[in-house]
Amino acid sequence: MPSLKLLAWIAYGLAALCALAGLGTEDILFVVPAVAAAISGVLFTALEKIIEALHAIRDALQPGIAAPSEDTNGQVDRAPTKSLEELKGDIDRLKAKASAG
């Protein structure tokens, strides 16, 4: 998940900028966002690792889902289509069965 990895690095960068701003101005006000951004970066990194592990587990358990075989084209086999006369015959049989039963 490149987006989670990117968000983690952005959070780390923001944490570093806030920490540097806090050190430069000697103000405690910048420490809170720096810590929050660092924690967010760690959580984004952990989430990315969890999702990678889940993908690996899914691929190991069901390799057919991850990589479909070459002999399948992804379409479900359909029943043969019926002609109009066959459909009318089926409807007449169902009507006769419903009226008799």
pLDDT tens column, 34-85: 999 999 999 999 999 999 999 999 888 886 665 655 555 556 667 778 889 9
pLDDT at 62: 81
CB proximity list for 15: less than 8 A, separation 6 or greater: 33, 34, 35, 36, 37, 38, 41
For residue 1, pLDDT beyond 90 = no
Question: Tell me, what's the pLDDT at 68?
Answer: 57
Name the residue with tokens 């109009």: 84
With a CB cutoff of 8 Å and minimum separation 6, the contacts of 51 are 1, 4
Q: For 75, what's the count of Cα atoms within 13 Å in the CB-facing half-sphere?
A: 4
Flag whether the pTM goes above 0.75: no
